[in-house]
Structure 1
Amino acid sequence: MTSRSGKTVSNAQRALHELRAMIFSGELAAGSDHLESELAARLEMSRTPVREAVLTLEGQGLLELRQRKGVRISPVSPDDMREIYDVLTELESLAAEHAAEASYDDGDLAQLTAAIDDMDAAIDAEDREAWAAADDRFHAELVRLGGNQRVASIVGMMQDQVRRARAITLFMRPMPVQSNEDHRLVCQSIRNGNADVARATHRAHRQQSKEMLVGLLERHRLRSL
């Protein structure tokens, strides 16, 4: 298999990519159990690359490898998401503060602005999946602009769980118009060099997002019982 860049993709990399996609889409549902041989058959490859992919996904918290029992897809826990959002709120708010202190010009903020524009276009088109992709870009760029590699590393470790929770709740929530307004205010505060406002605005945004997402996950779990 060859990627768009022309580089050869190993079977282990392909297994990792496809299993992640199956988990995020719900094809491998949260809480479901699977044998490695079953997963290998689905992917039409041997068990060795599947085992490598499974070990990576276990390290990312997306599944649990149980001895002699196969693989269990990890559920998305409301309590876990509370803890994850608490950490993300602090780290991303710190990134917003540092970005505002960095005296960035419009060119430096072009990717952040483009993500907001794409979120607006997605709202107009009522395309929630496109909005989610642009939202991911906004948060990743915000962390990059914060300039702290350790913050970026810790945030990156948590993003898969956040994306899974959002994939479950994306079509349950109202259209995220307010989220776009929050992002625009954060960007403007960074452009103006107003660190206190950038941090406070992003903190409030993440806290509201946490309350909404956790509430939706709790209702989803009750309906699934």
Structure 2
Amino acid sequence: MSADPHSRGMDTVSRGEAAYAALRQRILTVDLAPGTVLPEAQITTMLNMSRTPVREAVARLSYEGLVDALPRRGIRVTPVTVRDVREINEVLACLEVEAVVGVASRALPADAMAALDAAIAAMDAALRDGDRTSWATADFAFHSLLFDLSPNRHLRRTARLYLEKAHRARLLTLPLRADPVYSNSNHAAVVEAVRRGDPETAQEIHGAHKRRWSRELDTIIERFPDLFGEAPTKAGGPRHR
């Protein structure tokens, strides 16, 4: 008996979704570093998939600005430029402070507070163990929770895209920054303000944290000017580190 054509269509969709998720994860965790060029054949081998789902994934990632499609060559993982880093950081600072105010302005259920406490505990444990990769994962979870708990659904939708893009830059800077003790204490203070239902204090603390991180980021950029690539030009082509 022949296969159901509807089932074949669903299988293609699921494979396209799987290819998209796998490639996206590798890009956002910088397993595929910014500027990396991958031929289509290499991607299909890496994911053990055919060209159709890979091309669907590439189209979505290109729309999100995470890859550049190279005709007859495959893809290039979009470089993270200094301008990208600074502009995304500015946008996120505004969104995060607004999210913190919204979260602290309403009573959260016990499981939401427990999730925030768990993120802080995971950050503290990672810092004690000297495990910066685990710290970055816990820190990302904390910031994600702030947005997920925001009552503003449009803010949640917009923030997710920028938070994930900022995470790429954060992983690149991670080995170059001082131990993020201040981040842990700051985030813990924000959680306590949320617990008290004190949006003014939460806003003040988180705003100060974002300003401090901006200064630290500027220092890293000045000390390591080649850390972030620049957008390719027509004349010179892409710059690789």
Normalising by structure 1, we get a TM-score of 0.86
Q: Which secondary structure does the structure 2 equivalent of 1:75 belong to? A: coil
CA 1:160–1:105 in structure 2 vs 1: closer, same or farther (change >3 Å)? closer
Describe how 1:103-182 pairs up with structure 2 within 5 A.
Answer: 103-104=107-108, 108-182=112-186
Q: Which moved more, 1:12-21 or 1:39-48?
A: 12-21
Q: Is the 8 A contact 2:89 2:214 kept in 1?
A: yes
Q: Which moved more, 1:18-27 or 1:124-133?
A: 18-27
SS in structure 2 at match of 1:71: strand
The code of the aligned residue for 1:20 comes to R
Which of these residues, 14, 17, 22, is aligned with residue 18 of structure 1?
22
1:185 is the counterpart of 2:189 = yes
Q: What is the deviation of 1:112? A: 0.8
Largest Rg, 1 or 2: 2
Deviates more, 1:194-203 or 1:36-45: 36-45
1:82 maps to which residue?
Answer: 86
Structure 1 distance, partners of 2:205, 2:18, is: 40
Partners of 1:171 and 1:103 lie apart in 2 by 37
Unaligned 5+ runs, structure 2: 1-10, 228-239
Residue 62 in structure 1 maps to residue 66 in structure 2: yes
The answer for unaligned runs of 5 or more in structure 1 is: 1-7
**How far is 1:139 from its partner?**
1.0
C-alpha displacement at 1:169, in angstroms? 1.6
Whichever residue aligns with residue 189 of structure 2, its letter is: L
- Could you tell me how far 1:193 is from its partner in structure 2? 2.1
Q: Distance in 2 between matches of 1:198 and 1:151?
A: 18
Q: 1:44 to 1:103 in 2, by over 3 A?
A: closer
Q: What's the CA shift for 1:119? A: 0.7
Q: Equivalents in 1 of 2:84, 2:71: separation in Å? A: 24
Q: Distance in 1 between matches of 2:18 and 2:192?
A: 40
TM-score if structure 2 supplies the norm length? 0.81
One-letter amino acid of the structure 2 residue matched with residue 45 of structure 1: M
- SS in structure 1 opposite 2:115? helix
Which residue in the other structure is 1:50 paired with? Answer: 54
Question: Distance between the aligned counterparts of 2:125 and 2:39, measured in 1?
Answer: 42
1:15 alignment partner AA: A
Task: Give the partner amino acid of 2:148.
Answer: R
Percent identical across equivalent pairs?
37
Paired positions, count: 218
